[in-house]
Structure 1
Amino acid sequence: MRFRTKVFNIDCIHHFTNVVNTINKLLKKCTLRLTPDKLYFILPDQVSNGGVSMWCELKQANFFDEYQMDGVSSEHNEIYMEIIAENIVRALKSAHNAKSMKIKLTKKQTPCLTVEIELPSINSSSRLVTHDIPVSVIPRRLWDEYQEPTMPEFHVSICMPPLKTLKNIAERMKNLSTYLTLSANQEGDMVMKVETELVTVATRFQNLELPPFKDDDIASQAPSKLWPPTEMASARVDIRKFLQFLAGQQINPFKVICNIVNQSAIHFFLIHDDISLQYFIPAASV
C-alpha cells in the first residue's frame, strides 16, 4: 500500500482544514477511505443501535496538487484506515500559513499518516513541521462494513433554513428539554418543537424550497408518493445530537436537505461544490 499527496495552494489547505474541523465536531473516531479519485470520512451505520452515522465524500482533485495511491491490490485499489479526527485537526493547526503540505502513509512503530508542513521563515530557508498520526489499517475482509449507508424510503424531503438560525433556536430550546421534534411536509413547512409537562415551544418555517430530485448527488429517490403532501412527518431526536450537527458546519454548504422517515430517523444531506456530507440521526423512543 502507498499513499502520498501534496498541496501548495494555501486556500486548498484552509478548505481541507475546514472539512476536517467539521468532521471532528461531528465524531471522535472515523474511518478514512482512500481511492484514486476520492477521499471519504466514514462513521459506519450506528442508527439501528441509537447512534449517529456519517458519510463524507471529497474529490481529491479539488484539494491536492499531487495525489498518488496504491491500494491493497490491483483488484481492490483502495485503503481503509481508522483514525482519531482530533489528531488530524491538531496537525493541521500548524498549516494556517504553510507554503506547502504533504500527507503520506508511513510505517513507524505503527502505521501512521505523516503530515509534513513547510512553513515560511525570516531567512531564505524554510521550516519543516512533521506530525505522525497513528492509524489502524482495516483489512479487506471488513470493508463491507464501511459502504455508503442506505436510506429507507423517506416521507418528506425539504431544504432547511440557514443552519445558524436553527442553531440559535435549538440552543434556547436545549434549556427546556433533552429532545426536539423536527417535523415537515411537502408544502414547504417545517416545525421545530420541544415539549415538557409545563410548556410547549415551537418555531415554524414556511415556504421552504423542496429538492428537485434530478441530481443523483442530491438524492437517489423522491419522497414516498403515498404520504399526503400536507401531512407532517416527524422525528423526535436527542437535541444534543442535533446541535452537534449544526455546530460542526464549517464548510458553508450551498444547500442542506433534510429527509424525514416518520418516527424513525432524520437524514441530513449537505451539498457543496467540492464536498457532500450525509448525517443520520435516529429517532428517540418516546
Structure 2
Amino acid sequence: MKFRGKIIDVACLNHFTRVITTISKLTKTCVLRLTPDNLFFILSEKVANGGVSMWCELAQANFFDEFQMEGVSEDDNEICLEVAPENLARALKTVQNAKALKVKLTKKHCPCLTFAADLPTLSRASYARLRRQYLPPSAQTLKNVVDRMKNLSNFLVLEANMNGEMNLKIDTDLVSVTTHFKDLGNPPWGDDGSQKDCEVLAQVRLDVRRLQQFLTGQQVNPTKALCNLVHHRLVHLILLHEDVSLQYFIPAVA
C-alpha cells in the first residue's frame, strides 16, 4: 500500500485543518479510508451502548494538489487506517503557515501518516493570523440554548415537523423548559411530500452531551446545515460545504 499527497494552497490547508479539528472534537479515534477520489473519516460505535456514528467525506481534488495512492490490489484500491484525529489536528496546527504540506503513508513499528511541511523563510510574525470561523448566528443560538440546558438535565428532547418548527425540551421533576424555533427551512421530501402531515412532530430523546459536543466542535463553517429525525430512534445531522460533507448520527436514549 502506498499513499502520498501534497497541499500547496494555503486556503485549502487552513480549510483542511478546520475539518480535522472539527472531527477531533467529535471522537478520539476513527477510521480514515483513502480512495483515489475521496477521503472518508468514519466512526461507528455500538448503538446499544449509546454510541454515535459519523461519516465525513472529502473530495481529495478540492484539497490536494498532488494525490497518489495504491491500495491492496486493483480490485480493492483503497487504504483504511485507524487514526486519532486529535493527533492529526495537532500536527496540522503546527504547520498552518506552511508554503506546502506533504502527507505520506510510512511504516515504522506500524503504519503511520507522516507530515512534512515546507515553512516560509520569513518569520511567522510577518504573516496574518488565521481568522477562525465560528458557527453562523442561528447555529450559535442553538449552541447557547443547549449549553444552558446541559446545566439542567443530562437529557433533552429534540422535536421538529415539516412546517419549519423545532423545539428543544427538558422535563424533570424540578423544571420544565422548552425553546421554540420557527420558520425553519425544509428540504423537499420527494414525490409524496403532499401526503405528509406537516404539523406532526417527530421526537427524539438525546444525551445532551452528544449534541453539545457536535455544536461545540464544528469548525467546518457550512453553507447549509440539515437535521433529520427518525422518530424515537436517532438524529441525523449534516453539515454541507462546497467541498465537505460531514454527517453525524446521535441515537435516541430510553
TM-score w.r.t. the length of structure 2 is 0.90
Q: Decide whether the 8 Å contact of 1:58 with 1:276 is kept in 2.
A: yes
SS in 1 for 2:237: strand
CA distance in 2, matches of 1:261, 1:226: 18
CA distance in 2, matches of 1:63, 1:250: 16
Aligned pairs, number: 242
User: Counterpart amino acid of 2:61?
Assistant: A
Asked if 1:264 corresponds to 2:233, the answer is: yes
Measured at CA, do residues 115 and 222 of structure 1 come closer, stay the same or move farther in structure 2, by a change above 3 Å? farther
Shift of 1:162: 2.3
Shift of 1:46: 3.1
Q: 2:150 aligns with which of 174, 177, 197?
A: 174
SS in 1 for 2:94: helix
CA distance in 2, matches of 1:245, 1:122: 37
Residues 63-212 of structure 1 mapped to structure 2, 5 A cutoff: 63-122=63-122, 162-212=138-188
Cα deviation per residue 1:164-221 (whole Å; 9 max; x = unaligned)? 11000111111111101100011111001111112111110111100125xxxxxxx7
User: Counterpart amino acid of 1:264?
Assistant: R
User: Counterpart amino acid of 1:269?
Assistant: I
TM-score w.r.t. the length of structure 1 is 0.80
SS in 2 for 1:168: helix
CA distance in 1, matches of 2:57, 2:46: 18
Cα deviation per residue 1:38-70 (whole Å; 9 max; x = unaligned)? 000000253344200000000000001000001
User: Counterpart amino acid of 1:173?
Assistant: M
1:254 alignment counterpart: 223
Q: Decide whether the 8 Å contact of 1:47 with 1:280 is kept in 2.
A: no
2:6 alignment counterpart: 6
CA distance in 2, matches of 1:44, 1:239: 19
User: Counterpart amino acid of 1:193?
Assistant: K
Shift of 1:224: 8.5
Residues 32-71 of structure 1 mapped to structure 2, 5 A cutoff: 32-44=32-44, 46-71=46-71
What 5-or-longer segments of structure 2 have no aligned partner?
124-135
1:22 alignment counterpart: 22
Measured at CA, do residues 222 and 19 of structure 1 come closer, stay the same or move farther in structure 2, by a change above 3 Å? farther
% same residue: 53
Aligned-residue CA RMSD (Å): 2.0
Shift of 1:161: 8.1
User: Counterpart amino acid of 2:84?
Assistant: I
Measured at CA, do residues 122 and 226 of structure 1 come closer, stay the same or move farther in structure 2, by a change above 3 Å? closer
Measured at CA, do residues 233 and 170 of structure 1 come closer, stay the same or move farther in structure 2, by a change above 3 Å? same
Shift of 1:120: 1.6
